[in-house]
Amino acid sequence: MRIGIDARLIHYSQAGITQYTTHLVKALARIDSEDQFFLLQSRKEPEPLVNHPNFRRKGLWTPSHHRLEHYILGLEVLGLQLDVLHSPDFIPPKRWFGSDFRSVITVHDLAFLLYPNFLTPKAARYYGQIDHAVRRADHIIAVSQSTKEDLIRLLGVPDRKITVIHEAANPIYRPINRDEAWKKAKEQYPNLPEQFFLFVGTLEPRKNIPALLRAYSLMRQNYKTDHVKLVLAGRPGWLFDEIFQLVQSLDLESHTFFLGRVPTEVLLYLYNSALALVHPAHYEGFGLPALEAMACGTPVITTRVSSLPEVVGDAALLVSPEDEEELAVQMWRILSDDDLRGKLRAKGLNRAASFSWEKTARETLEVYRRAAKV
């Protein structure tokens, strides 16, 4: 097969879809030496994503999320004679006359349909193409059963057109000595507290950070835990100003630490240093931070909504995203119960081990093969 993978977004962003594309391509290179792969990268990024005999970089002019990319990208891939083109960012190109490749797209979540008020106008315009995208695609990869059910319920996509293929954590995430991890993290962030709960993700409304702040404030008031701080790792997103306003109104300025976007190698140390990851999201297509934390042996508190129970299984404490008192109680349990922390650590490591990029790559390759025969 001649397989194209749209990797242009890697030049513009290092967020979730970029990480998905990068790890998938590297895993495909490890397991497949027979098929011919064309990595559709930005012309501004001269280095190939992988160096492998059957992987070829194709530099493209079309920028990611351009309003005309559907048409221009279709023209740029005309001469590649692809059998399958995979669009991890879910918008497939137009198939012009002379181009008969099969289109596979990955849908990571449908938060933009469920929570349209959480979107910028630019994002709303881009993600508004989802109806056309799912109709044009020959097959759809959903990263969770929850996302598959959303595709069926919200967009009427036939069940037979969707395959659930889970993501996996970056292999860098692993258990390391807590004291060593904290010292390494403190080298990058000198003000890092010794005991802290950790949040990882973009600072945006669907991550439910105001509820986390209020729950943390409740825990401090009810259980007198002034020595335990809250660390938030992630770049500011849409409507983040209210988060900082709430920190001020709750008088938490000296107890909360905003680190901004944290490099992967430093995030490894933060996960291993934290008392627990607290991930109170309203919605997740997959919920990768929870899996990353479990891969480090870090206890997880998250919500019983969307894909999160599917990812964590019985290896995390689950709460309602609307119940701040319940969240405060679970944070206190983690802090005060050594036995509970030990059980969650063991369960989390076991759960995380059931996900791998090699497994993801093999299942994705099977989707390519089925799509090519349609």
pLDDT by position in tens, the chain (length 374): 999 999 999 877 777 799 999 999 999 999 999 999 999 999 988 889 999 999 999 999 998 888 888 898 999 999 999 999 999 999 899 998 778 899 999 999 998 898 877 667 777 778 888 999 999 999 999 999 999 999 999 999 999 999 999 999 999 999 999 999 999 999 999 999 999 999 999 888 889 999 999 999 999 999 999 999 999 999 887 667 889 999 999 999 999 999 999 999 999 999 999 999 999 999 999 999 999 999 999 999 999 999 999 999 999 999 999 999 999 999 999 999 999 999 999 999 999 999 999 999 999 999 999 999 86
CATH number for 81: 3.40.50.2000
Asked if 119 and 231 sit in the same domain, the reply is: no
- Residues 10, 141: one domain? yes
Q: Do 326 and 364 reside in the same domain of the chain? A: no
SS3 label, residue 231: strand
Q: What is the pLDDT of residue 204?
A: 82
Q: Is residue 32 part of a domain?
A: yes
Q: How far is CA 259 from CA 244, 281, 327, in A?
A: 13, 19, 23
pLDDT at 114: 87
Distance of alpha carbon 239 from alpha carbon 292, whole angstroms: 26
326, 185: one domain: yes
Residue pair 142/162 in contact (Cβ under 8 Å)? The answer is: yes
In a domain, 137, yes or no: yes
Question: What local confidence, expressed as pLDDT, does residue 118 receive?
Answer: 66
Are residues 21 and 102 both part of a single domain? yes
In DSSP terms, which residues pair with 141 in a beta bridge? 106, 163
pLDDT of the residue at 57: 96
* 114 belongs to a structural domain: yes
Same domain for 244 and 265? yes
Q: Is 368 helix (H, G, I), strand (E, B) or coil?
A: helix
What number of other Cβ atoms are within 10 A of residue 374's Cβ?
8
Q: Is residue 25 assigned to a domain? A: yes
Using N-to-C axis directions, what is the helix angle for 264-273 and 288-295, rounded to 10°? 70
Residue 103 within a domain: yes
C-alpha dihedral sign at 238, 142, 291, 277: positive
Q: What is the pLDDT of residue 373?
A: 85
pTM of the full predicted structure? 0.93
Q: Determine, yes or no, domain membership for 37.
A: yes
What is the reported pLDDT for 374? 61
What integer pLDDT is reported at residue 102 of this predicted model? 96
CB atoms within 10 A of CB 33: 10
What is the domain count for the chain? 2
Cα–Cα distances (Å) from 29 to 3, 33, 163, 356, 363, in that order, read: 12, 7, 21, 15, 14
Asked if residue 142 belongs to a domain, the reply is: yes
Amino acid at 358: E
For residue 339, the one-letter residue type is: D
DSSP symbols for 156-196: ---GGGEEE------TT-----HHHHHHHHHHH-TT--SSE
Structure tokens at 195: 């005991």
Regarding whether 182 and 141 lie in a shared domain, the answer is no
> Are 208 and 242 contained in the same domain?
yes
Distances (CA, A) of 45 to 7, 72, 200: 10, 19, 28
User: Residue 42 forms beta bridges with which residues?
Assistant: 60
Q: Which two tokens stand for residue 363?
A: 């299942």
Neighbouring C-beta atoms of residue 130, cutoff 10 Å? 19
Q: Can you give the residue range of the structural domain that contains 329? A: 178-352
Instruction: Give the C-alpha separation, 318 to 312, whole Å.
Output: 9
pLDDT given at position 11:
79
Q: Is residue 173 part of a domain?
A: no
In the block, residue with structure tokens 């680190």: 259
Claim to verify: residue 203 and residue 240 sit in the same structural domain:
yes
**Measured distance between the N- and C-terminal CA atoms of the chain, rounded to whole angstroms:** 14
Question: Residue 66: which residues within 8 A CB-CB, separation 6 or more?
Answer: 72
- For residues 330 and 364, membership in a common domain is answered with no
The answer on 206 and 141 residing in a single domain is no
Are residues 362 and 328 located together in one domain of the fold? no
